[in-house]
Structure 1
Amino acid sequence: MTKLSVNINKIATLRNARGHNRPDLLQVALDCERFGAQGITVHPRPDERHIRYQDVRDLKKIVTTELNVEGNPTPDFLALVHEVRPEQVTLVPDAPDAITSNAGWDTIEHQIYLLGVVTELKAIGCRVSIFLDPDLAMVKAALATGTDRIELYTEAYAQQYAQNPAAALAPYRAAAELAKELGIGLNAGHDLDLENLAYLHQNLPGLEEVSIGHALICDALYLGLENTIQLYRRQLQ
């Protein structure tokens, strides 16, 4: 069964807009779990424009499913991960000024670097996932980093889905099949929503987890958070 991890970055964005604690990020995380989320995802950035480093520390104390912490493995990020030790760390090569994640790792060029980071994080008990484009060469090279999983960056799939679902999915299915052959676990995320999620889930072999934030929170404005999480869960059945 593919798990749904809810990314709560946008809840933090809303909270930070007024400088107080409304909405209460920790309560929202607990409610997401109560409503059916099987994990909580956060992506603390260096400028803390949404998730703050302290949020990650506080979330680790209360999350009872799985805490997935995403980010570029800078010294500050790695220090936080060593302190918190989340169940999963997803390595994302985003620039400090990026609005959102916009590319996967080059696992050939950065293989030695990633090997060192993956080894370090696995040694403290974290499962590690590397954010990747659906490029077979990058999937194959990921094996040498020792990563537990890869997370396929699904923006291109989401953009092309309405025009031709099969063509949009094709490179992702090939990447998923290769990952399965290599014994690498598979996650996916970015721009997945109620329109395109079920098709992805039905056609990606071995998909273990999706992390969804922006679309899910947008849907929740109209449908309510509990109902929205249940609707997303249904797409994964």
Structure 2
Amino acid sequence: MATLGVNIDHVATIREARRTIEPDPVWAAAAAELGGADAITIHLREDRRHIQDRDLEVLKKTVQVKLNLELAMNPLMVDIACRVAPDQVTIVPENREEVTTEGGLDVVR
């Protein structure tokens, strides 16, 4: 059965670009759920350029569907994932120069 996962990172990108509190990714997640989303995906980057720790904490408490947390494989991010315990964790590469994630993991190396 097909499922719909909605990534709400860019809602946070707009908020951070405006240097304000809106739009709130938590509201976007609620709207996505009302629209039929089966999962909400967020990427907590090391540099916190869009999703913030507060977003993750509130989303963990409010999201009624599955919460997928994307993160880089480093000790701090792993500690956060273990503490928050989202429904799913997806390991993604991070490059500080990229605007958004540009590639996947090289698992063959």
Could you say what the CA RMSD is over the residues aligned between the two structures, in angstroms?
Answer: 1.3
Residues in 2 aligned to 1:23 and 1:108: alpha-carbon distance in whole angstroms: 40
Query: Runs of 5+ in structure 2 lacking a partner?
Result: none
Residues in 1 aligned to 2:62 and 2:2: alpha-carbon distance in whole angstroms: 23
Q: How many residue pairs were aligned?
A: 109
Deviations 1:34-53 (A, max 9, x none): 11111100011111111112
Residues in 2 aligned to 1:50 and 1:39: alpha-carbon distance in whole angstroms: 19
1:63 corresponds to which letter in structure 2? V
**Corresponding residue for residue 90 of structure 2:** 90
Deviations 1:128-172 (A, max 9, x none): xxxxxxxxxxxxxxxxxxxxxxxxxxxxxxxxxxxxxxxxxxxxx
| Structure ranking higher in helix proportion | 1
**Corresponding residue for residue 64 of structure 1:** 64
**Corresponding residue for residue 49 of structure 1:** 49
1:85 corresponds to which letter in structure 2? A
Residue 21 of structure 2 aligns to a residue in which SS? Answer: coil
Q: How does 1:34-183 map to 2 (within 5 A)?
A: 34-109=34-109
**Corresponding residue for residue 28 of structure 1:** 28
Residues in 1 aligned to 2:96 and 2:78: alpha-carbon distance in whole angstroms: 15
Residues in 2 aligned to 1:72 and 1:96: alpha-carbon distance in whole angstroms: 11
> How much does 1:17 deviate?
2.1
Checking the alignment, whether the CA contact within 8 Å between 1:44 and 1:71 is kept in structure 2 is yes
Query: Which has more radius of gyration?
Result: 1
Which has the higher mean CA deviation after the structures are superposed, 88-97 or 57-66? 88-97
2:86 corresponds to which letter in structure 1? P
Residue 82 of structure 1 aligns to a residue in which SS? Answer: helix
Checking the alignment, whether the CA contact within 8 Å between 1:45 and 1:96 is kept in structure 2 is no
Residues in 1 aligned to 2:23 and 2:102: alpha-carbon distance in whole angstroms: 27
**Corresponding residue for residue 11 of structure 2:** 11
Residues in 1 aligned to 2:79 and 2:91: alpha-carbon distance in whole angstroms: 14
> How much does 1:32 deviate?
0.8
- TM-score, reference length from structure 1: 0.44
> How much does 1:62 deviate?
0.5
- TM-score, reference length from structure 2: 0.90
